[in-house]
Amino acid sequence: MVTMEEYFNTYQSVDPQNVLHWVRVGEVSDFPENAGGCIKYKSKQVAVFHFERTNTWYACQNLCPHKLEMVLSRGMTGDAAGIPKVSCPLHKKSFSLEDGTNLNGEEYRIATYPVKIDNGNVYIGFAD
């Protein structure tokens, strides 16, 4: 079980220029289209989303900051005024997959990670 504090320490956004390791997490076809899947890296759970219509990929913490449950990969994806987002399956709070902000105007935010596709493989960028 994650405490609030541990969670703030564990999940911090990574900018593409700060990536230390590009971790291979599977092939493109392992991930559902226009929906999410969850991967594990060290003790982290990261949700990975493939927006097939624009062929873009996003990754964010799997932990929903609202009630601290490991569920975001199972949320529905979509966009709000063009911003790609995921909506939590528990209470439908929506988060921008670009910068992790909450789109309902609340103060929660989530950490996001860069995704790279190379030769049919999916890589997530971590700084640890």
Partner 1 sequence: MKKVIVVGNGMVGYKFCEKLAAHPQRDQFEITVFGEEPRPAYDRVHLSEYFSLKSSDPLLLAPRAWYEENRIELRTSELVSEIDTSIKRIVTHKNNSFQYDYLILATGSSPFVPPLEGVSKTGVFIYRTIEDLEAIEEYAKKLQSQGKYKAAILGGGLLGLEAANATKELGMETSVIEFAPRLMPRQLDQQASDLLIKKIESLGIHVYLGKNSKEIIGSPEITGIDFHDGSSLDVDMLVISAGIRPRDELAIKAGLLTGTRGGIEVNRKMETSDPSIFAIGEVALYNNGIYGLVAPGYEMAGVAVDQITGGEKLMSPTIDMSTKLKLVGTEVASFGDPFLENENAIAIRYENKQKGIYKRINISPDGSKLLGGILVGDASDYNNLFQLYINEIKLPEDAEDLILGARGGDGKSSFGSALDLPDSAQICSCESVSKGDICGSLTSGTCSSLKDVIGLTKASSCCGGCKPMVTELVNETLKSMGQEVKETICEHFEYSRQELYDLVKIHRIPTYNDALDQLGKGHGCEICKPVMASIFASIFMETANRQVGIQDSNDRFLANIQRNGTYSVVPRVPGGEITPEKLVVLGQVAKKYDLYTKITGGQRIDLFGAQLHELPLIWKELIEAGFESGHAYGKSLRTVKSCVGSTWCRYGMHDSVSFAIQIEERYKGLRSPHKLKGGVSGCIRECAEARGKDFGIIAVEGGWNLYVCGNGGANPKHAVLLASQLDDETCIKYLDRFLMFYIRTAAPLMRTAPWLDKLDGGLDYLKKVVVEDSLGIAEELENEMEELVNKFTCEWKEAIESPEMMKRFKHFINTDDSNEELVFVPMREQKMPKPW
117 lies in the site for ligand FES, by CB under 6 A: no
d(CA 47, CA 24): 14
d(CA 35, CA 72): 10
Letters for 22-51 (x = contact with ligand FES by CB under 6 A, - = none) are ------------------------------
d(CA 120, CA 18): 23
Q: Which of 13, 38, 69, 117 binds ligand FES (CB under 6 A)?
A: 69
- Residue 82 CA from chain centroid, whole number: 17
- Rg, Å, the chain Cα set: 13
64 lies in the site for ligand FES, by CB under 6 A: yes
Give residue for tokens 């890296």.
41
89 lies in the site for partner 1, by CB under 8 A: yes
Tell me how far, at minimum, the Cβ of 77 lies from ligand FES, in Å.
15
* Contact partner at residue 91 from partner 1, ligand FES, none, CB < 5 to 8 Å by partner kind: ligand FES
Letters for 45-84 (x = contact with partner 1 by CB under 8 A, - = none) are x--x--x-xx------------xxxxx--xxxxxxxxx-x
| Interface residue list for ligand FES (CB under 6 A) | 64, 66-67, 69, 88, 90-91, 93
